[in-house]
Structure 1
Amino acid sequence: MYRFCWLLLAAICGTTVASAQTTSPSATTTPVYTYVEQMPVFPGGQEALLRTLGETIYYPTEALQQHLEGRIFVQFVVGVTGNVQDVHVSNTTIPVLDAAAVEAVQKLPAFSPGRQLGKPVPVAYTVPITFRIPSNVKEILAARAAPNTSVTPASSPLLFPGGPEALRTYLSNHPWPADYSSTLPSGTPALPQIVFVSFVVDTLGQVTQAMAVQPAEPVERRRSHQNPKVPAAPAALLLAAASHINAMPTWIPARKNGQKIPFPLTLPVYFGPTDSVATPLAYVDEMPVFKGDAIEGHYMAQRLRYPATALRSQTQGTVLTYFEVSEAGTIENIQTIKSASPDLDTEARRVVQMLPGYIPGRHNGKPARVFYVVPATFSIK
């Protein structure tokens, strides 16, 4: 299936004003505002809204064959939860294009809702979508007409065979290595433990460079004046976790601009009994959408501050912080999984705590919990 970005898109909505204006609802319906003090905001802003629509909309084959063009005004309401509601066309002209435009808008993720007097309220919104026949329409129609043509997307995420649930199962309930159990005192049960492993999935889908996460080597710690507070797991578990990751089946490689690319990951291996159903997923059908004004990495980098104590002691290093995005989009279970020093660890954690939250991820049509591992590198130049 081909999707195209030849659409001319421009959102039409009121600018922020001091007093609200509403439509004329009946006595039994909730008023829908046209202007409010704080207008709805799409995740990533107006540019992201236009880009998302351009990537989502599908130019119907029938319209291409008949050289149908037109500008469709799609109206909808951003509800009090931010969800898109009541999507319809205001100027019905060409039914097949109307339907394509409405379908694209219905797929939009939730906005940050509009607010009036500090409370979320429903706000009317309109976007015009212009369909224009592309210059290579003959090639597009020929490709669609070929029933056995396999179309490879220009960009696609890294995928584990069987999906995220299969990946979670693979990582969960890993047996204790024999040489670890033998080191425990007689009668002492082995408590569940988690060991994180960083690795790269290459362009063939193979796992490479697998290394269990642990503090830097003593020589590096001395050179960088590190004083890590998160100890390494027992050596037997570090080795077993890395071996388990190395034994993974072949992944479906990530793609960017049509080219397969290597992709770095850090994943947990769970030793001992694990409630795999309650364990968060590494990825989902619809990943959480960050609510900040930049992508997560840039947002964090802009706010990261080098602690004065670490500067005085010339402490450097990379801190890895784990957190989960809940089914409600909140940030939970923040943990330092690779420590450099107490002050650097604290600063990395502070920046994660500052994240404004996410629009929740969804899997199989339902909100889903997803985990992230983010690095914060402190370097004195």
Structure 2
Amino acid sequence: MKRLFPTFFATLALLVAAPIAHGQTAPAPVAYTGPRYPGGPDSLRALVFRSTRLATPAPTGRMLVQFELQDGRTPRDFKLIDPPKAPKALRKASETALAYLQARMPAWKPGTPDADDQKGSTRKVHLVLDFATPAAAQPYAYAEQLPTFPNLTALLQAQRNPYLERSLSNPKTLARLASAKGLTTFMQLQVKYPPAAMRAQEQGTVYLYFEVAESGAIEQRQILGTAGSVLDDEVLSTAARLPAATAPAVLQGRPARVFQVIPISYRLATGRP
């Protein structure tokens, strides 16, 4: 007998903390510990922007670039991820931009290994080709300090997930959960596999894009990698419930707009009951 069920492959930070009570101190800022572009976030943003200026006339829209950092350093395996119904002009301009980035992308400086990373694993990096937004208005891929989301801990605690409760006493992982990394956990615990998607045999990875503004607001929610319209709608609907940051990202001592890409993977599997 055929059986359908979802499997989520992205790593879950299975952590939770109690909500902040009145009078308690908010979580301390969380420093960015991932891999770093040699010239810093400004130089990385400038490189990506230059790649989008090669097409004439420039199309509108965004396209997602994904590549891996072998051992946290060496860029490899560059590829484009198509958004829903990507126009041919956008695809063609993105291919030109991708070739430009691949030829000019230097080795990165490795960051501090994440507690969830396996030894020797590769790190996936996402960059966004935005052909319409001016350079100064485009968000950064990372900043010196991550946005903080202390309200996420209360939302996740309300789930009463037994796996989450195992990490209640770990202060380091609790601090990570109150950062932008906790948004991935929230999304993966909230999304469902809609029956309509199962009937339509929709599966694959949905790539959610959004920006955390200088005010902390979640803006520009968009699907930049599709696994089918029903699954895309489910992820986008769940993303509408993401809470705002109580403190934004910080770069060079100032609030900074940053983007985040969360991949949500779905798989249809068969098996005997």
Do both share a fold (TM > 0.5)?
Answer: yes
Match of 1:79? none
Letter in 1 for 2:49: S
Change in Cα spacing, 1:266 to 1:192, as seen in structure 2 (3 Å) is: same
Task: Determine the structure 1 residue equivalent to 2:22.
Answer: 39
Residue 255 of structure 1, aligned match among 102, 112, 115: 112
| Aligned-partner Cα distance in 1 for 2:114–2:266 | 32
Tell me which of the two structures has the higher relative contact order, counting C-alpha pairs closer than 8 angstroms and 6 or more residues apart. Answer: 2
Structure 2 counterparts to residues 1-381 of structure 1, below 5 A: 38-40=21-23, 108-109=28-29, 156-174=33-51, 181=56, 189-203=57-71, 205-214=73-82, 228-230=84-86, 234-246=90-102, 247-256=104-113, 262-271=122-131, 274-291=133-150, 292-293=152-153, 294=177, 295-358=182-245, 359-381=247-269
Counterpart residue number, 2:10: none
Instruction: Kindly indicate whether the alpha-carbon contact (under 8 Å) linking 1:197 and 1:241 is maintained by their aligned counterparts in 2.
Output: no
- Aligned amino acid, residue 203 of structure 1: D
The CA RMSD over aligned residues, in Å, is 3.0
Offset of residue 164 of structure 1: 0.4
Q: Please tell me whether the aligned partners of residues 254 and 260 of structure 1 are also in contact (alpha carbons under 8 angstroms).
A: no
How many residue pairs were aligned?
Answer: 217
**Structure 1 Cα separation of the partners of residues 41 and 189 of structure 2:** 31
- Cα pair 1:310 1:344 within 8 Å, conserved: yes
CA contact (8 A) 1:326 1:360 kept: yes
Q: Against the structure 1 CA distance between its residues 40 and 350, is the aligned structure 2 distance closer, same or farther, given a 3 Å change threshold?
A: farther
Q: Which consecutive unaligned segments of at least 5 residues does structure 1 have?
A: 1-15, 17-36, 44-48, 50-107, 111-154, 182-188, 216-227
Post-superposition CA distance 1:9-62 (Å, at most 9, x none): xxxxxxx9xxxxxxxxxxxxxxxxxxxx9524556xxxxx5xxxxxxxxxxxxx
Letter in 2 for 1:213: I
Q: What SS does structure 2 have at the residue aligned with 1:243?
A: helix
Q: Is the contact between residue 212 and residue 242 of structure 1 (CA under 8 Å) also seen in structure 2?
A: yes
Shift of 1:257: 7.2
When residues 260 and 362 of structure 1 are mapped into structure 2, their CA distance, relative to the original with a 3 A threshold, is farther
SS at match of 2:112: strand
- Rate the CA distance shift 1:41–1:245 in 2: closer, same or farther, 3 A: farther
Checking the alignment, whether the CA contact within 8 Å between 1:325 and 1:371 is kept in structure 2 is: yes
Deviation at 1:274, TM superposition (A): 5.0
The corresponding residue for 1:82 is: none
Is the Cα–Cα contact under 8 Å of residues 94 and 129 in structure 2 kept in the other structure? no
AA aligned to 2:80 is A
Structure 1 residues 335, 281: CA separation in 2 closer, same or farther (over 3 Å shift)?
same
Q: Distance in 2 between matches of 1:41 and 1:353?
A: 28
Equivalent AA in structure 1 for residue 101 of structure 2: I
Higher strand share: 1
Determine the C-alpha separation between the residues in 1 that align with 2:266 and 2:97. Answer: 27
Q: Distance in 2 between matches of 1:301 and 1:210?
A: 25
- In structure 1, how many angstroms separate the alpha carbons of the residues matched to 2:267 and 2:34? 30
Q: Deviations over 1:141-170 (max 9, x none)?
A: xxxxxxxxxxxxxx9421111110111111
Q: 1:257 to 1:303 in 2, by over 3 A?
A: closer
Q: Contact 1:229 / 1:340 at 8 angstroms: preserved in 2?
A: no
8 Å CA contact retained: 2:52, 2:129: no
Q: Partner amino acid for 1:207?
A: P
8 Å Cα contact 1:213/1:337 also seen in 2: yes
Give identity over the alignment, percent. 29
CA contact (8 A) 2:59 2:93 kept: no
Q: Is the 8 A contact 1:320 1:339 kept in 2?
A: yes
Q: 3-state DSSP class of the match of 1:289? A: coil
**Alpha-carbon distance between aligned partners in 2 of 1:256 and 1:175, rounded to the nearest angstrom:** 32
